[in-house]
Chain A
Amino acid sequence: MTGKQHILYFLSLHRTGLSVTVLALALILFPFLDSNPYTLGLTNLIAINAIVVLGLNLFIGYAGQISLGHAAFFGLGAYGSAIATVTFGLPPWPAMFLVAGLVALVALAVGIPVLRLSGHYLAMATLGLNYVVHTVLLQWDEVTGGPSGFAGIPSLNLGTFAFDTPLRLHYLLWTFAMLCLLLSLNLVRSGVGRGLAALAGDETAAASLGVDTRTAKVKIFILSAVLAALAGSLFAHCFCYVSPDTFGIFTSTDMVIMVVIGGMGSIWGSLFGAAFLTLLPEWMDWFETYKDFVHGGVLVLVLMFLPQGLITGIVDAIRIKLALRRREHAPA
């Protein structure tokens, strides 16, 4: 085998790891380009959103389900970390993982009955879950602090090194984000990932091929919930303050919009979607006023014209065009 073939094969074999490394390098170098704390604050938010969207994309895009209530898990993660570290005085890192574990159990308990539903019914059920959690966060004053929120959440730290500036948080949050990205990419490229893609494509066929559809749906639901909870914990320790409004139904729909724009089933697209929707308000000042209109409008447009979402839709269209052209030129 020639040297060139060798290199090409190596590249194709390790393409996931290599591309993530490249992006990681770019992110490491980014603060040297622009160290404006406001910009970094934004990118930190993108990182947090990205983690949620990665999980949600696996659920919506890969497994073909729908959840309009993921902000619930986001909120449970945030408030969970807050309560654990402040009220119970647990150190932040173990608290984060403990909360993630608890949220996993909640997702399991909720998932098993709810995932028997599909389509609109599933959407309604998840919406209902979000509503319940939001109401609890709002009403249960003694524990959650009620409408005025929960303040005084400590930052994460490694020994004496505290992650309390946007620059430090940039590195921490993006490390987490890159890790989740890598794991998601690996998942999608494996037999399990194919099973999920099959599940989304045609559930009957997937079952006939050996995919335990019910278990797979629950497992991926739990995974997406855990990722959302993780992001929530990071969110809490990043901004040191959480309030119930952040975890309402509109946040859930935002997350779905991010998935859809980025492309359902495209992992890299999740990053794009998270970035796009996080940065959109920056580019359009009047956005704040008409936020909901714009959000809704974008969602409808994308769903109408490119059901697979923006990135995936474009990529698919190109692939199909290329393939069709090749097919015409290929011998019969």
Chain B
Amino acid sequence: MLQLDGVSKNFGGLPALQSVTFGVPKGRLTALIGPNGAGKSTLINCVTGLLPPTSGSVHFESVDISGLPAHRIAHLGITRTFQNLRLFPRLSVLDNVLTGLTCEGGTSMCMAMLRLPVLRHRERQLRLRALEAMDRFGLSDKAGWPAAVLAYGDKKRVELARATVGNPRLLLLDEPVAGLNAEETASVGEQLRTLRRAGQTILLIEHDMDLVMNIADHVVVLDSGQCIATGTPDEVRRNPLVLEAYLGRMEATA
């Protein structure tokens, strides 16, 4: 579904990504792993339009999206979560999740100001959908709270709800379990598994190897801006390049 070809990104002469090429198959969960500083977040930013790649191309369902601005990419059905959480702290939880439906909320200021019946009905439908998404992530009782007061785990869930409420074609998750305890991690893992079963295409950036090995269908390994391996979790786990780069000189555990 998503195909990266030779994507490179330089920050003023410093290569952050070097000719990265891999594909994300439809309906599968692909994990992007690599040591800190390998360029994973830069890669996601290039895919979602926050950073233009220096060279190479990104194709989404055969359409070239390299260099498109972030909002156009969102309208194509690609959503993401952020490693360091980018919620809107002053907005309520419900409003935060509703922002996930921006693409369907209309852009006409006149229509909005006049609040025509069409708009009212649409608002109501969006509200119900947002509430349903919040149900899925266990946030319904916190609907009216300002997002700033939530616990860290709940905030992560709000980001997830916001990213999934619009039924995106491709979901990009940037370290969704960073900073969560074991129980919360397991719960997020279960959510991801449910999404995966429903046929959602997911690209997951993670450090937590247990999570990755358990739920990923396909793994891509990045090191120092280069793609050093791709394959199934088992294949990658035994790949000596990966072991050396990511796990150090360790025996491969069976």
Are A208 and B146 closer than 8 Å at their CB atoms? Answer: no
Are B88 and A186 closer than 8 Å at their CB atoms? Answer: no
**Smallest beta-carbon distance A117→chain B, Å:** 18
Are A208 and B80 closer than 8 Å at their CB atoms? Answer: yes
Are A210 and B103 closer than 8 Å at their CB atoms? Answer: yes
Q: Mark B117-152, 1 if CB is under 8 A from A, else 0.
A: 001001100100000000000000100011011010
Interface flag for B199 (CB, 8 Å):
no
Are A197 and B112 closer than 8 Å at their CB atoms? Answer: no
Q: Mark A184-203, 1 if CB is under 8 A from B, else 0.
A: 10110111111101100110
Are A194 and B79 closer than 8 Å at their CB atoms? Answer: no
Residue of B49, B101, B102, B103 contacting most chain A CB atoms (<10 Å): B102
Which of A44-52, A78-86, A322-330 has 4 or more CB atoms under 8 Å from chain B?
A: A322-330
Known: A183-B113, A194-B98. A202 touches B71 (CB 8 A): no
Known: A191-B123, A210-B74, A316-B90. A186 touches B113 (CB 8 A): yes
Are B48 and A208 closer than 8 Å at their CB atoms? Answer: yes
Are B50 and A208 closer than 8 Å at their CB atoms? Answer: yes
Contact partner, A320, options B80, B101, B149, Cβ 8 Å: B149
Contact partner, A209, options B107, B148, B162, Cβ 8 Å: B162
Are B146 and A316 closer than 8 Å at their CB atoms? Answer: yes
- CB neighbours (8 Å) of A198 from chain B are 88, 91, 99, 102
Q: Which B residue sits closest to A16, measured CB to CB? A: B115
Interface flag for A105 (CB, 8 Å):
no
Interface residues on A, range: 35 or more
Q: Which A residue sits closest to B107, measured CB to CB? A: A192
- Report the separation of the CA atoms of residues A204 and B174 in the bound assembly, to the nearest whole angstrom: 15
- CB neighbours (8 Å) of B162 from chain A are 209
Which of A119-127, A135-143, A156-164, A211-219 has 4 or more CB atoms under 8 Å from chain B?
A: A211-219
Are A208 and B74 closer than 8 Å at their CB atoms? Answer: yes
Chain B contacts with A in 80-111, Cβ cutoff 8 A: 80, 82, 86-91, 95, 98-109, 111
Q: Which A residue sits closest to B80, measured CB to CB? A: A208
Known: A205-B82, A208-B48. A308 touches B149 (CB 8 A): no
How many A-B pairs have beta carbons closer than 8 Å: the answer is 128
Known: A201-B91, A208-B50, A327-B149. A191 touches B106 (CB 8 A): yes
Are A201 and B88 closer than 8 Å at their CB atoms? Answer: yes
- CB neighbours (8 Å) of B148 from chain A are 320
Are A201 and B89 closer than 8 Å at their CB atoms? Answer: yes
Are A207 and B112 closer than 8 Å at their CB atoms? Answer: no
- CB neighbours (8 Å) of A316 from chain B are 90, 146
Known: A197-B88, A198-B99, A201-B90. A192 touches B71 (CB 8 A): no
Are B109 and A219 closer than 8 Å at their CB atoms? Answer: yes
- Report the separation of the CA atoms of residues A209 and B88 in the bound assembly, to the nearest whole angstrom: 12
Contact partner, B95, options A197, A209, A265, Cβ 8 Å: A197
Are A187 and B113 closer than 8 Å at their CB atoms? Answer: yes
- Report the separation of the CA atoms of residues A207 and B69 in the bound assembly, to the nearest whole angstrom: 8
Residue of B99, B108, B151 contacting most chain A CB atoms (<10 Å): B99
Interface flag for B211 (CB, 8 Å):
no
- Report the separation of the CA atoms of residues A311 and B82 in the bound assembly, to the nearest whole angstrom: 31
- CB neighbours (8 Å) of B80 from chain A are 208
Contact partner, B99, options A183, A190, A206, A213, Cβ 8 Å: A206
Q: Mark A260-288, 1 if CB is under 8 A from B, else 0.
A: 00000100000000000000000000000
- Report the separation of the CA atoms of residues A204 and B70 in the bound assembly, to the nearest whole angstrom: 8
Q: Which A residue sits closest to B103, measured CB to CB? A: A210
Are A192 and B86 closer than 8 Å at their CB atoms? Answer: no
Contact partner, B114, options A183, A210, A220, A319, Cβ 8 Å: A183
- Report the separation of the CA atoms of residues A191 and B91 in the bound assembly, to the nearest whole angstrom: 13
Are B149 and A209 closer than 8 Å at their CB atoms? Answer: no
Are B88 and A205 closer than 8 Å at their CB atoms? Answer: yes
Q: Which B residue sits closest to A331, measured CB to CB? A: B141
- CB neighbours (8 Å) of A204 from chain B are 50, 70, 86
Interface flag for B238 (CB, 8 Å):
no
Q: Which A residue sits closest to B105, measured CB to CB? A: A191
- CB neighbours (8 Å) of B101 from chain A are 191
Are A194 and B70 closer than 8 Å at their CB atoms? Answer: no
10 cross-chain pairs, A with B, having the tightest CB-CB distances, nearest first: A191-B105, A201-B88, A210-B74, A190-B112, A205-B86, A207-B70, A183-B113, A186-B115, A210-B103, A210-B102
Footprint of A on B, CB under 8 Å? 48-50, 69-71, 74-75, 79-80, 82, 86-91, 95, 98-109, 111-115, 119, 122-123, 126, 141, 145-146, 148-149, 151, 162
9 extra interface residue pairs, beta carbon distance < 8 Å, beyond A190-B123, A208-B49? A192-B106, A192-B107, A195-B102, A195-B107, A198-B91, A201-B87, A208-B82, A210-B71, A320-B146
Residue contacts A-B, CB under 8 angstroms, 14 given: A183-B113, A190-B112, A190-B119, A192-B105, A192-B106, A192-B112, A195-B105, A201-B90, A204-B70, A204-B86, A208-B70, A209-B100, A209-B102, A327-B145
